[in-house]
Amino acid sequence: MNVPGRIFADEDLITAAFNDKAIEQVASVASLPGIVEASFAMPDIHLGYGFPIGGVAATRVEGGVVSPGGVGFDISCGVRLIRTNIPSAEAKEQMGPLVNELAMNIPSGLGTKGRIALDDKQIDEVLKQGAGWCINQGYGEVEDLEFIEHHGAYETADPDRVSDHAKKRGQKQLGTLGSGNHFVEIQEVVEIYDQSAADAFGIKVGWLTVMIHSGSRGLGHQVCKDYLKVISEGNARSDLMSHDRQLACTPIESQTGRDYLAAMAAAANFGLANRQAIAHGVKQAFTTVLGASQKKLGLNLVYDVSHNVAQFEKHEVDGVPTELCVHRKGATRAFGPGQPEIPKAYRHIGQPVITPGDMGTASYLLVGTEKSMKRAFGSTCHGAGRVMSRKAAAKKMSGASLMRELAEQGIIVEAGNRRALSEEGPYAYKDVSRVVDICEAVGLSKKVAKLRPLGVVKG
């Protein structure tokens, strides 16, 4: 280990991390060349590929490395939150039709094809322009870009660094949820913890919000797979061969490192564009079912942020501002007030952090803190974090039984794959309230609002 491992958790969550060997991964990440400060893990830590999910690591640009395992296969998997002016009580009778319309508008499930087919030229445009491409096609408003990380596009993206195979996988998947833990969820704001932040974000108790969780689909998966192969083969001929093959890495300043980062940024742009296209489907569903305009319903973007990405940021190292490559895998950037990366409307508050739970419990809207900048390179949790494997979860309850149980709680669910639904049951996840409370206790983020699920479209 070149640096310590530092885990933000309570005793029970630490024990769980030991049991699934995620802590061993924290130690392995600490061995990466050029890593600074520590190998961090958030309270939602669990076993991942190479890096633990919930892992954060920053490496120096000069002499440091980038590792695809520190980003993951679902590049730019992230979350978007839409606010509304709709009181939940007024929409209660329409919740079933709303969920059905969302399921019609937003294809979900493994390998699902979307309604936006891209030709060879258009896929390159999406990889370069990100969410901006969607807006140029009428899928959203220009104002949205202010409330998306990097204004909707990573400028370092280079479509030429993405394989033709990866592009083919993405050409028919724009505007689709995918499978696993991805979802669109209609929620009710049930509690406010920070009124000034809630006012800035336009969130009120009793009003509906919509949360979107998805990523770069097959395109991002293929980018990761392609570069893991290239980097692993290169490592076999160099002194970078890790004791853990899943931690394959390459110098940031090498040609392979530059190529991967440019391809990763392009895949991240696809992820941002995908959530933009899904949001368009959400707005169409609401206006169709409720018979009112988007403006009247107050369907506006709060924020959109990825939690599987590596990006260049300046942070203090030993008191010196230093450019670093910050890997966040299942962890969310949580910059404190005053940072230029934050939308102007929120800069006095801090960056919004959107933290989904599971379809049977709460989700949270948080805000980044100044303390987080100093403690973990401006990072916090990304969700509840799994506590049970998908195989074990599937054995616990059938998808049909889970749907009935959630319906008894007043939660309507539509799933692209009902058999796989039980893999994502609430019992498969940690207690998200506990996770966000720990993050607040150690200063990584602050709670702003608690959101309760009412209707879910599941991948």
User: Would strands 379-381 and 207-214 be described as parallel, antiparallel, or unpaired?
Assistant: unpaired
Contact 54, 46 (CB under 8 A): yes
Is 280 designated active site? no
The rounded distance, in Å, linking the Cα atoms of 380 and 81 is 17
Q: Which positions ≥6 away from 12 have C-beta within 8 Å?
A: none
Rounded to a whole number of angstroms, the distance between the first and last alpha carbons of the chain is 38
Residue 328 DSSP SS3? strand
Residue 280 DSSP SS3? helix
Residue among 46, 182, 315, 382 flagged as catalytic = 382
Q: How many Cβ atoms sit within 10 Å of the Cβ of residue 11? A: 7
Residue 277 DSSP code: H
Chain mean position to CA 29: 21
* Angle, alpha carbons 39-43-49 (nearest 5°): 55
Contact 70, 54 (CB under 8 A): no
Alpha-carbon dihedral sign for residues 66, 72, 76, 81: negative
Contact 414, 102 (CB under 8 A): yes
Chain mean position to CA 338: 23
| DSSP bridge partners of 357 | none
Written as one string, the DSSP assignment of 148-203 is BGGGGS-TT--GGGS-HHHHHHHTT-BT---STT-EEEEEEEEEES-HHHHHHHT-
Catalytic residues: 382
